[in-house]
Every structure is written in C-alpha cells, then in structure tokens.
Amino acid sequence: MGTLDNKSAVVTGASRGIGRAIAIDLARRGAAVVVNYNSSEAAAQEVVQAITDAGGRAIVFKADVSRADEAGALIKACIDAYGKLDILVNNAGTTRDTLLMSMSEADWDTVMNADLKSVFNCCKAAVRPMIRARGGRIVNISSVVGLSGQAGQTNYAAAKAGVIAFTKSLAKEVGSRGITVNCVAPGFIPTALTNVLPDDQKQGITKATPLGRFGTPEEVAYAVSFLAGDEAAFITGVTLSVDGGLVMQS
C-alpha cells in the first residue's frame, strides 16, 4: 500500500529532470499522475511508460503553463481522467541567464512567464476544485537562488522569490479550506537546466555546499512527496530547502 493511494496529481514540466523524478515518485507511492510537458513529447511519453511499466497510473498532457488557457486545460484533464485533483506540483521552469546590463526584455518576460506566471495560472485553475473537495496539496518548486540571489539571474531569482511569497500568501488564503501550499527550494541538481553552467562554476557550487556534492532529482522528489502526503497535513506556507546546506553559505 502506498502513502498516496487514491490520490491524483498534476506535475508541470514532468518530461525530464526534477519534474520527471517527481512524477515517478508520486506514482510509486500510489498517485495517478498527469505528466505535463510543453515541447518534449517523446520524453514525456517515456515517463508515462516508466510509470505504467512499474504498475502505476499516468497520462501525458501537453500544455504551455505560462498560458492561462492551457494551464486550465491541464487541470481539467486531471479531473476528467481521475475524477479529482488532490496534488498540484508546479515544477515547470526555465532560465535565461545573463547580467542585467545585457538582459533583454524577452529574457525577463520568458522567465517570469514560465517560472512565476505559470504558478499563478495553475494554482488559479486548481484552487476552485480543491475548495469544493475541501482539501488539496500544492507544492511549488522554487530555488536556493530565490532565497539567496545570484549574479546573472536577476530574472530567475526574482521569479523564484516571487514563488515563495506567492506560496505564503495563497497558504493564508486557503488554509481554512484544508488546502496546504508549500515550496521546495532545490540547490544544484544536475539536469538539462544546469548542465550548461561552466565547470568552474559547478566546482564553486560543490565547494560552497556543506554536504560537498550536488543533489539528485530523486532527493528533491522525496521532499515533494512528503509535502504532498497526509503526514504533512499541518505544514503550510513553508519553504523546504533541499540543497545540501547551500543556502546557509549565502
């Protein structure tokens, strides 16, 4: 018996990296999962295949969550497929790193839309059915840089800090309805998002991390599954750092 049996979940940006690990871990614990992607269809299908091969339940759904209409369709797809939405994980995100002096308006808007507006879009669509069901779990993926700031990431750090403030505010709005809203703030996790960083920067991050290594997507997923489960029923509005202690050094 899994701790998330009979739950249904939407994971945004679940075609690869951290979102993939979250979808697989939620399904392993019994949840029926909607694996959202925007452009990586084959990878998303492979995630669904991995879940169903292991005896779990999952469907794939294409949606650009930076668009309100598509985010709404994603939430509806979960309710259509599984009858309800218990868990929403806002994981989709992207970066356009550069110093402010050379950051274009498009660099700013792309990151704000994919990393922050997407959270607004999906939460807005999810909250009404969760209120009707008198319960739900929302877990938003922020970042250590949303807490510490990072040169070259004014757009991304602002979006991720925005996710934390959004989370606290929504947690206050919906707490009386039995809905919890929390953040997970990963440190450095090797994925397509971070593989582009130069080696010296990666070494610097490892050195600054008290645990002396990078994290894994699965280690982030375990924290998300905890916050998504019944055992976290009295936790809301928090940001759980999964960063090997990196945030303490900044």
Ligand X SMILES: NC(=O)c1ccc[n+]([C@@H]2O[C@H](COP(=O)([O-])OP(=O)(O)OC[C@H]3O[C@@H](n4cnc5c(N)ncnc54)[C@H](OP(=O)(O)O)[C@@H]3O)[C@@H](O)[C@H]2O)c1
Residues marked as catalytic: 156
Helices (H), the chain: 17-28, 41-53, 68-82, 105-111, 118-132, 144-148, 154-174, 199-208, 217-228
Measured CA to CA, the distance from residue 3 to residue 18 in angstroms comes to 20
Smallest gap from residue 229 Cβ to ligand X (A): 20
Position among 4, 9, 19, 239 found at the interface with ligand X (CB under 6 A):
19
Q: What secondary structure letter does DSSP report for 113? A: I
Interface of this chain with ligand X, residues 72 to 101, rule: CB under 6 A? 91-94
Smallest gap from residue 227 Cβ to ligand X (A): 15
Interface of this chain with ligand X, residues 57 to 76, rule: CB under 6 A? 64-66
Could you tell me how many residues of this chain bind ligand X (CB under 6 A)? 30
Smallest gap from residue 151 Cβ to ligand X (A): 16
CB within 8 Å of 162: residues ≥ 6 apart:
116, 146
CA neighbor of 8 nearest in space, from 109, 133, 155: 133
Binding of residue 114 to ligand X (CB under 6 A): yes
| Contact indicator for 87, 8 with CB cutoff of 8 Å | yes
Binding of residue 141 to ligand X (CB under 6 A): yes
CB within 8 Å of 176: residues ≥ 6 apart:
none
Which residue stretch of 3-11, 24-32, 173-181, 182-190 sits at the interface with ligand X (rule: CB under 6 A)? 182-190
In the complex with ligand X, which residue's Cβ is closer, 24 or 189?
A: 189
Which residue stretch of 23-31, 174-182, 187-195, 196-204 sits at the interface with ligand X (rule: CB under 6 A)? 187-195
In the complex with ligand X, which residue's Cβ is closer, 17 or 229?
A: 17
Q: At what angle do helices 118-132 and 154-174 cross, to 10 degrees?
A: 10
Binding of residue 17 to ligand X (CB under 6 A): yes
Query: How wide is the angle at C-alpha 139 spanned by C-alphas 134 and 145, nearest 5°?
Result: 150
Binding of residue 211 to ligand X (CB under 6 A): no
What residues make contact with ligand X under the rule CB under 6 A?
A: 12-13, 15-19, 36-40, 64-66, 91-94, 114, 118, 141, 143, 186, 188-189, 191-194
